[in-house]
Amino acid sequence: MKRSIIIFSALAVTGCTINRQNLHDPDVDLLFQPAMYMHVSEKDKERYPEDQTFGVSAWSLPDGKTWSSNSSDASIHINSLEAKPIDKVNWSCETPVVWPSVTENVTFLAWSPYASGKGCETEKGVTFEISDIIAEQTDLLYCAPVQDLCKIECGGVVTVPFRHALCQISVCVKNRVQDTEKIVVRNVSMDNVAGSGTFSSLKSPQWQTGNRNASLTFLEEPFETGPNPEPVGRKWLVIPQEINTPLTVEYDFSTASGETITQRLQTIPLKMRLEGGKSYTLTLSIGIDDVKFLKELIKDRFEK
C-alpha cells in the first residue's frame, strides 16, 4: 500500500471531539521538524544545525492512557533510530517508520548528535556520558517528552524542541590603568571544574558529576587590554554544577616609563550554580596589582 502524508486540518480544531474508532486509518509516514527550545522570545533565535542528525525513540499507548500516568506500560514504537533531513523542513528516520493506529497515542524523546546518546528509556529518558569535558566539547542536545500525539491531531509531523544539556562559559577583560600605562594579558584559566559526569533527562534533567577535575584555559596568547570590556580567548562547554573556584590571570603591566612588571594573580572564588542551557560571560577588571570581577552576564541561550 502506498504511504501518504496526510494533514488532518479540519480535525485539529481546539475543543473538537474525535471518535477515533470510526475514522479512516491509512498508513502515514512519521516525520519530524527539529527546533531549538527558547526560554523567551528573542529577535536572533537559535536554529537547530541543519547538518546534524539526531536520535529518536518513541512509545505508544492506547487512547485514553497518558504518558505522565502510564509510561511504564508503553510499548516501544521507535527504538533509538537516526533521523535525517529529507527536504528543507522535514526529517525522517533512516529506516522509514509509519504512525500506529489512530486508536494509539505516541510519546517521543530525542537527542543530538545521534552518536553522542548513551541510551533512551522510559525511566531515565535521554542519557549522556562525559569522561573528559576538555576533549569532548560536543554541544549535547535533548528534548523533553513530546507527549501523547496522534497522527490525526498533529498531521503526521512531530515538532522536536531541543535544549542544551551543557552550559557555556566565556571571559571578557578590561583594565584600570592610566592611558600612558599598559596591561597585556597572557593567560586566563579556571581550575577545579567538574570534568566528567553522566546526564539523564527524566524525571527532571540532571547531571551527576564524576571524579575528574578539569582546568579551563580561556586565553594563551597575549592580548592588550583596553578601558572597556572585550571578549578574549575561547568559550568552553561545561557540565552544569556548583562551582567555588577563583580565576587565575597572568599579565604584564607596563609603566609610563617602560618598566614591565609580570603578575600572576587570582580573583576571589567564584561561587555560583551553573545551569544547563545558559551562557555565562565573566568580566574581569585588571589593575596594577589586583583582578576583580566586574560583572557576570547570563543568557538563556548559547552565544554564537
Q: What is the pLDDT of residue 126?
A: 97
Retrieve residue 199's grid coordinates. Answer: 546526564
Q: Across residues 83-101, what is the average pLDDT?
A: 94
pLDDT of residue 26: 83
Best CA proximity match to 218, nearest among 202, 235, 230, 201: 235
Strands (DSSP E) contained in 25-178 are: 31-36, 54-62, 75-85, 91-93, 104-112, 119-121, 125-130, 141-142, 146-149, 157-164, 167-175
Contacts of 235 (CB under 8 A, 6+ apart): 168, 169, 170, 303
Confidence at 298, pLDDT banded by 50, 70, 90:
low
Give the model's confidence band at 1: pLDDT under 50 very low, under 70 low, under 90 confident, else very high.
very low
Over residues 216-253, the pLDDT tens digits come to 999 989 999 999 999 999 999 999 999 999 999 999 99
For residues 58 and 98, what is the distance between their CA atoms, to the nearest angstrom? 12
- CA–CA separation, 121 and 131 (whole Å): 21
Cα separation of the two ends of the chain:
46
Give the model's pLDDT for residue 186. Answer: 97
How far is residue 137 from each of residues 64, 176, 212, 221, 236, measured CA to CA in Å?
Answer: 43, 34, 15, 21, 8
CA–CA separation, 29 and 156 (whole Å): 7
Q: Place 58 in a pLDDT band, splitting at 50, 70 and 90.
A: very high
CB neighbours of 172 closer than 8 A, spacing ≥ 6?
Answer: 229, 230, 231, 232, 281, 282, 283, 284
3-state secondary structure at position 161: strand
Q: 64-102 burial string, b = 16+ CB within 10 Å, else e?
A: ebebeebbeebeebbebbbbeeeeeebbbbeeebebbeb
**Better pLDDT: 17 or 68:** 68
Name the 3-class secondary structure at 203: coil
- Give residue 17's pLDDT: 42
User: How far from chain centre, in Å, is Cα 41?
Assistant: 17
pLDDT tens, residue by residue, 120-134: 999 999 999 999 999
Chain segment 7-24, per-residue pLDDT in tens: 333 333 333 345 555 567
Identify the pLDDT of residue 10: 36
Are the C-beta atoms of residues 225 and 165 closer than 8 Å to each other?
no
Name which of 34-38, 212-216, 244-248, 276-280 the model is least confident about.
34-38
Share of the chain above pLDDT 90, in %: 77
Taking the CB of residue 275, how many other CB atoms lie within 10 A of it?
14
Contact between 252 and 183 (Cβ < 8 Å): yes
pLDDT, position 211: 93
Looking at residue 253, what is its pLDDT? 97
pLDDT value at residue 20: 55
What is residue 304's three-state secondary structure?
coil
Residues 255-267: pLDDT tens digits? Answer: 999 999 999 999 9
- pLDDT of 44 reads 59
* pTM of the predicted structure, to 2 decimals: 0.87
pLDDT of residue 13: 34
Instruction: Report whether pLDDT(41) > 90.
Output: no
How high is the pLDDT of residue 82?
97
Q: Residue 10 — left, alpha, or beta (φ > 0 → left; ψ -120 to 50 → alpha)? A: alpha
Beta pairing partners, 282:
171, 296
